[in-house]
Amino acid sequence: MKLRYWLCLALSLVVVASAGAAEGYAFADTAGKHLDVTFGGKPLVRFMYAYDPSTKESLHDTYKPYLHVFAPDGDQLITKGPGGQFTHHRGIFIGWNKITF
């Protein structure tokens, strides 16, 4: 079972690395906040990695990284982020449950 997780992670890294080399893709990092992946100047996804433990509210909004997904036009997010009725439903994420080494 562990092998399957590591293979999935390795495959994901290969896909991301090859996407970075493909023509038309670009990465733009806003330091300490998020990393945007764009294609042809339009945003595809935004990796939200900010972490702000200064207040209880900001900690709740930033304690777990996730991936925002943009609509095909690149103008509208189709994932909601923190807040709302189900605050843990933010975007795409990997929920690692029992990691051992």
**pLDDT at residue 18 in the model:** 60
The number of domains in the chain is 1
Q: Is residue 4 part of a domain?
A: no
Starting at the edge strand that comes first in sequence, how are the strands of the sheet with 42-48 ordered?
25-30, 34-39, 42-48, 66-69
Domain that holds residue 47: 24-96
Residue of 99, 97, 36 whose CA lies nearest to 67: 36
Contacts of 71 (CB under 8 A, 6+ apart): 77, 78
Q: Is residue 3 part of a domain?
A: no
* % pLDDT > 90, the chain: 35
Q: Which two tokens stand for residue 62?
A: 């930033």
Q: Is residue 74 part of a domain?
A: yes
- How many angstroms separate the CA atoms of 34 and 49, rounded? 6
> What are the pLDDT digits (tens) for 31-75?
999 999 999 999 999 999 999 999 999 998 888 888 889 999 989
Confidence of residue 11 (pLDDT cuts 50, 70, 90): low
Q: Is residue 55 part of a domain?
A: yes
Give the number of other CB atoms < 10 A from CB of residue 91. 20
Confidence of residue 13 (pLDDT cuts 50, 70, 90): low
